[in-house]
Structure 1
Amino acid sequence: MGRWGMRLFEGDQNIDIALQINNTFGEGEKDDLSLSHMIHQTDMLAPMMMRMYYQTSEYGEELQDMVSKARAKLDTDGLGRKLMDHWRAKETDRGGEYRFIIAGALLMRAGAEIEESDMQHLRELVPRIHCSPGYELPLFDQGFRGPGRAQFLAAFDNYKPSVPRNYQEPSCFHCGQVGADSGKVPMKCGGCRSAWYCDKDCQKAHWKQYKPSCIDPSRAWTLNV
């Protein structure tokens, strides 16, 4: 299992789940919601040319169009509700509760409408999902990392229909907020240059949990973090 980050959609597990959810209603072109494509740009294992393309304005426009079309599909004829009903019905399957959370995260990514009953259920599920503050053996890496959990909760608390939530935007590893939530541009950790924080207060509050994972990039390739 690949893991190149600690937030949502920065590991193979979440990408694989997103692909499953994307194909909820079939694999034909007309059934493709493009949900998984909206989060693939975080894949740091992609070829260099593809990662460079993710940084261009051309891709930014393509992504914005993709998100708008996905939202239109999900909000038409209750398709988003049908998707949530489908994955909620599978919660008793192994990993089913976490898949439902990822389904909710993808709908928030598109800015699609989510029923209040589903929002309440997502809130109830979060404490039941395994969460690791940092490194986890691949066999047990089956839920949130701490920053991903904070990121999801911040997205949940700031959710508004028709307003997409970009999970690749820098978000605080402690509280999960992005700049639009806090009014502050998140700053990078000076040690690992991989974590973001709203300010020194958030960094200090998170330090005890994050300290084992705060590794200088020049050494990170030798460690499985």
Structure 2
Amino acid sequence: MGRWGPGLFACDRDLDLADALVVEISGVEDGPENDVLSCFGGGSTIYDREGKAVDGSSILEGLREKLDAGLGDSLIDKYRNLVTATKDGWAKHESKYKSVLLAAVIMGTGAKIRDHDLQYLRQLGSEVESNERQFLVALDNYEPDTCGKTHQDTGKDLVKCGGCWSAWFCDKGCERRAWSVHRNDCDGSGTRGL
């Protein structure tokens, strides 16, 4: 998926809200999981409390599994219910914005998002100030089960799917891990997306 562009989810308020969501996902106030989630899945090497380098990709994979096991769906449902239940205009807007931030955090891990939730998030993206265009493009191009790493993260060129030539992966291993989901979109013609 890549990184969010300049100005999107970069102000202090966004980071504070995202930090609270990160604690909900990781289940701890502070730790390497929080660091990985706080940079929306972008950190390949992070440091634990003792200052030792830790491989962020294995932590990211564990978080993705946790979200795919139902936590992601339940959190999206929780914030959707908050939006529905809230009557106050500002609190309703805040709940909508938290839902958009939650989606960004989940997408940063490569976890699955249900189709009807993607539709709901598209609707919210146009209702809140989230740099709507960039958020909607990210939703439209979102591929779960991919790591979201870019050349900037790995120092290597991305690998294009040999079947459809429209999906990109950080390496062949990433492509293999994503195949169970990507095969539904891959037509194998080598011309899709051209």
User: Same fold by TM-score, threshold 0.5 exceeded?
Assistant: yes
| 2:148 pairs with one of 146, 165, 170 | 165
Aligned to 2:55: 62
* Counterpart-to-counterpart distance in 2, 1:32 and 1:127: 33
* Counterpart-to-counterpart distance in 1, 2:32 and 2:106: 11
* Counterpart-to-counterpart distance in 2, 1:157 and 1:39: 22
Q: What's the CA shift for 1:33?
A: 9.3
Report the secondary structure of 1:106's partner residue: helix
Q: Which amino acid aligns with 2:142?
A: Y
Residue 153 and residue 26 in structure 1: after superposition, are their counterparts in 2 closer, same or farther (change >3 A)? Answer: closer
* Counterpart-to-counterpart distance in 2, 1:119 and 1:102: 13
* Counterpart-to-counterpart distance in 1, 2:65 and 2:79: 20
Q: Which amino acid aligns with 1:101?
A: V
Q: What's the CA shift for 1:87?
A: 1.5
Unmatched runs of 5 consecutive residues or more in structure 1: 43-52, 131-143, 171-178, 184-225
What RMSD, in angstroms, separates the aligned Cα atoms of the two structures?
A: 4.0
* Counterpart-to-counterpart distance in 2, 1:110 and 1:68: 7
Q: What's the CA shift for 1:102?
A: 0.8
Q: How big is each residue's C-alpha offset from its partner over 1:103-129, in whole Å with a ceiling of 9 and x where there is no partner?
A: 111111111111111100011111111
Q: How big is each residue's C-alpha offset from its partner over 1:117-172, in whole Å with a ceiling of 9 and x where there is no partner?
A: 11000111111113xxxxxxxxxxxxx3x4xx4432222111112013359x69xx
1:74 matched to 2:67? The reply is yes
Residue 106 and residue 40 in structure 1: after superposition, are their counterparts in 2 closer, same or farther (change >3 A)? Answer: closer
* Counterpart-to-counterpart distance in 2, 1:107 and 1:72: 11
* Counterpart-to-counterpart distance in 2, 1:90 and 1:33: 29
Contact 1:33–1:70 under 8 Å retained in 2:
no
* Counterpart-to-counterpart distance in 2, 1:25 and 1:158: 23
* Counterpart-to-counterpart distance in 1, 2:135 and 2:63: 20
Contact 1:90–1:96 under 8 Å retained in 2:
yes
**Percent identity (aligned):** 28
* Counterpart-to-counterpart distance in 2, 1:83 and 1:33: 21
Q: What's the CA shift for 1:9?
A: 3.1
Aligned to 1:8: 8
Q: What's the CA shift for 1:182?
A: 9.9
Q: Which amino acid aligns with 1:71?
A: R
* Counterpart mapping for 1:1-225 below 5 A: 6-24=6-24, 27-28=27-28, 34=33, 37-40=36-39, 62-76=55-69, 78-91=70-83, 92=86, 93=91, 94-130=93-129, 144=130, 146=131, 149-165=132-148
Q: Which deviates the most, 88-97 or 100-109?
A: 88-97
Residue 110 and residue 182 in structure 1: after superposition, are their counterparts in 2 closer, same or farther (change >3 A)? Answer: closer
* Counterpart-to-counterpart distance in 2, 1:166 and 1:98: 25
TM-score (norm 1): 0.50
Unmatched runs of 5 consecutive residues or more in structure 2: 47-51, 154-158, 161-165, 169-194
Contact 1:113–1:162 under 8 Å retained in 2:
yes
* Counterpart-to-counterpart distance in 1, 2:78 and 2:104: 15
* Counterpart-to-counterpart distance in 1, 2:76 and 2:14: 17
Residue 41 and residue 129 in structure 1: after superposition, are their counterparts in 2 closer, same or farther (change >3 A)? Answer: closer
